[in-house]
Amino acid sequence: MTRKVEKTLEEWAKTLTATQLKVARGKGTEAPFSGKFNAHTEDGTYVCVCCGEPLFESEHKFDAGCGWPSFYKPASETVIDEEVDTTLGMHRTEVMCDACGAHLGHVFPDGPPEKTGLRYCINSASLDFKERK
């Protein structure tokens, strides 16, 4: 993993909202069913709110009923970085933007079995959206 974007927390704070900063740079989690992209169905690409890296395509999004945007695969194999997360007494896999290290959410092995079997459970606060024209 080689980060393309390196900034201090103070520099991120100048371009992100308080919620985006807490989630993307502070590894926080937004409340379920509160994020603007949970029920979002537009056609396009979900990008990193911090650096604009394309992360997920709308055609890979599905309703997992968990309260966060869910995808069965990233836009490419190189845009996501994974790390073991044992916080809160759990054992799970954290996913981050490979370009800037932003915390996106977690990946679980309970996604659509006819696709990849994975569920990338992502915070809306870590995403922006570019509509496909």
Catalytic residues: 121
Q: Is 48 annotated as a binding residue?
A: yes
87-90-91-93 Cα dihedral, nearest 10 degrees: -60
Instruction: Judge whether 66 is annotated as a binding position.
Output: no
Cα separation values, 127 from 23, 36, 124, Å = 10, 9, 5
Tokens 């809160």 belong to which residue? 88
CA dihedral 64→18→98→91, nearest 10 degrees, is: -50
Q: Which residues, other chains included, contact 10 with Cβ-Cβ below 8 Å and sequence gap of 6+? A: none
51 annotated as belonging to a binding site for a ligand = yes
> Can you tell me which residue has the tokens 């309260």?
67
Q: Residue positions in the annotated binding site for Zn(2+)? A: 48, 51, 97, 100
Q: Residue positions in the annotated binding site? A: 48, 51, 97, 100
